[in-house]
């Protein structure tokens, strides 16, 4: 039995390890503050005196196993896994009675499930070192993609750690991870949220910027395998409870935000949200030039967009083209339409492009129904009421406003043409699935 346990993860080739700082960055190393470790270890409290099978994946120096053993005794069966030899050696020195495995956690399969899996997995998108933090693992990306059902889009390695760990729990077992808050709302995590909703009861404790000097807002995720429902806490105060949770966006909903949403149609009912044409499309377009000359207009970016107005003069993209050719890149450039910022944090910044310029960035709203007054919609989107609404729902979960958030913003029914508005249910998209 013990032999199996020793071998359930295939050891990684030791080879030449990169210098410590480099490996820490490239493998997503972030040390967990001790207050947070103590809180999480509290969530893993053994229910009775029986020894638990406890795992800390990507254990680094094993702060969670050490705190667990200090609080609940050394009689538990403790295992740590890390891909880096130094981390495994340091952990062995700290906890000589625990088992430590040098292995890629995401590619291993233990013989026996665990009662408790806890820790701080690495965060980051796996890819090229020039663009993405987790580049030491990039050769394995296709193996991960094949293995994890929730892998979607660029994904973030912490999503794979969550899926794998939930699968390794016994029924009734618990996962306690600290992870970025992005999975609560981003479309890339739609499958992960549905998977979690099917797998167990999920309790989320919002901690915000708990890591000093790290620009990341985090939550503690507790999954109790086999139970149902979702509870969102603001630190230790219960804020949202959904016993029938199925994987929808997780937000700080309040009676006020829900009433605000029910008071109008959702933006997604009234508008299709388009992204601007991408840089490669501009590069391929024969009408696009890199020097100004009479007859050309600048291609606009987020820096041209301001609350309620657009700077049509300054070229922020380094690209120019004839105005009348812009619709070749996106047909909706031909019509006056609303532009909403994607590149200005989670603030809602909107303006009406009445001059029909080409854009290389931002969201572009094309009406699906008769919208009586586009300028009134712009003023509403820029209003303090909408800013307050989005801030209170999404806080600092993500660095940018997303299409899913935008789609749920309510538009007062008075802005929609009579006749059409009667056919639309008010606040219709609030509880619907949100698709890209």
Give the shortest CB-75-to-ligand SAM separation in angstroms.
22
Q: Is 11 a catalytic residue?
A: no
Compute the 3-state secondary structure of the chain and give helix, strand, coil in percent, each to the nearest 5.
35, 25, 45
Q: Is 211 a catalytic residue?
A: yes
Give the shortest CB-38-to-ligand SAM separation in angstroms.
13
Closer CB to ligand SAM, residue 177 or residue 359?
177
In total, the chain counts a number of residues equal to 436
Residue in 57, 63, 121, 180 annotated catalytic: 121
Q: Is 122 a catalytic residue?
A: no
Rounded CA-CA distance 295/157 in Å is 48
Rounded CA-CA distance 74/95 in Å is 9
Residue in 39, 64, 123, 260 annotated catalytic: 123
**What are the φ/ψ torsions at residue 80 (nearest 5 degrees)?**
-125, 145
Closer CB to ligand SAM, residue 83 or residue 192?
83
Q: Classify residue 384 by burial, with Cβ atoms within 10 Å: 0-12, 13-18, 19+.
A: exposed
Give the shortest CB-85-to-ligand SAM separation in angstroms.
9
Rounded CA-CA distance 336/319 in Å is 21
Residue in 148, 211, 245, 265 annotated catalytic: 211
Contact residues for ligand SAM, defined by CB under 6 A: 27-32, 58-60, 63, 81-84, 87, 104-106, 119-120, 122, 137
3-state secondary structure of 67: helix
Closer CB to ligand SAM, residue 53 or residue 84?
84
Closer CB to ligand SAM, residue 81 or residue 98?
81
Residues 6+ apart with CB under 8 A from 288: 282, 299, 319, 320, 321
Give the shortest CB-18-to-ligand SAM separation in angstroms.
11
Dihedral angle of Cα 379, 380, 382, 385, to the nearest 10 degrees: 140
Closer CB to ligand SAM, residue 175 or residue 430?
175
3-state secondary structure of 350: strand
Rounded CA-CA distance 363/361 in Å is 7
> CB nearest ligand SAM: which residue?
60
Which bin fits 355, alpha (ψ -120 to 50), beta or left (φ > 0)?
A: alpha
Q: Is 94 a catalytic residue?
A: no
Residue in 120, 156, 304, 382 annotated catalytic: 120
Closer CB to ligand SAM, residue 136 or residue 185?
136
Give the shortest CB-30-to-ligand SAM separation in angstroms.
5
Give the shortest CB-71-to-ligand SAM separation in angstroms.
16
The residues carrying an active-site annotation are 120-121, 123, 211
């Amino acid at each position: 039995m013990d032999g199996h346990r020793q071998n359930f993860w295939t050891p990684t080739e030791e080879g030449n390890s990169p210098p410590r700082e480099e490996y820490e960055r490239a493998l997503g190393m972030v040390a967990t503050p001790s207050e947070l470790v103590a809180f999480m270890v509290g969530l893993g409290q053994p229910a009775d005196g029986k020894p638990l099978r406890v795992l800390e994946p990507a254990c680094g120096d094993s702060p969670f196993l050490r705190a667990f053993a200090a609080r609940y005794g050394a009689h538990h069966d403790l295992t740590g896994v890390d891909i880096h030899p130094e981390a495994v050696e340091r952990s062995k020195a700290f906890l000589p009675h625990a088992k430590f495995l040098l292995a890629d956690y995401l590619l291993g399969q233990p013989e026996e499930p665990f009662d408790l899996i806890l820790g701080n997995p690495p965060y980051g998108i796996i890819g090229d070192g020039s663009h993405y933090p987790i580049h030491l693992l990039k050769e394995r990306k296709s193996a991960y993609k094949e293995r994890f059902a929730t892998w979607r889009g660029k994904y973030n390695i912490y999503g794979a750690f969550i899926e794998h760990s939930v699968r390794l729990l016994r029924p009734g077992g618990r996962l306690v991870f600290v992870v970025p808050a992005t999975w609560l709302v981003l479309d890339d995590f739609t499958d992960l949220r549905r998977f979690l909703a099917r797998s167990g009861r999920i309790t989320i404790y919002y901690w915000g910027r708990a890591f000093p000097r790290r620009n990341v807002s985090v939550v503690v995720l507790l999954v109790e395998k086999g139970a149902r429902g979702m509870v969102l806490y603001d630190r230790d105060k219960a804020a949202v409870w959904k016993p029938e949770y199925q994987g929808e966006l997780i937000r700080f909903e309040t009676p006020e935000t829900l009433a605000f949403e029910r008071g109008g149609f959702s933006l997604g009912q009234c508008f299709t949200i388009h992204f601007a044409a991408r840089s490669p499309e501009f590069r391929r377009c024969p009408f696009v030039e890199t020097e100004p000359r009479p007859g050309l207009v600048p291609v606009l970016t987020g820096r041209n967009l301001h609350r309620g107005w657009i700077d049509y003069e300054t070229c922020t993209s380094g690209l120019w083209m004839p105005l009348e050719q812009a619709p070749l890149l996106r047909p909706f450039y031909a019509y006056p339409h609303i532009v909403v910022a994607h590149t200005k944090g989670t603030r809602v910044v909107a303006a009406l492009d009445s001059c029909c310029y080409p854009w290389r960035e931002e969201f572009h709203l094309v009406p699906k129904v008769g919208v009586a007054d586009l300028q009134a919609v712009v003023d509403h989107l820029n209003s303090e009421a909408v800013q307050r609404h989005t801030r209170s729902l999404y806080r600092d979960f993500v660095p940018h406003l997303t299409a899913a958030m935008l789609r749920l913003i309510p538009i007062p029914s008075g802005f929609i043409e009579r006749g059409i508005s009667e056919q639309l249910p008010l606040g219709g998209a609030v509880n619907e699935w949100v698709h890209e």
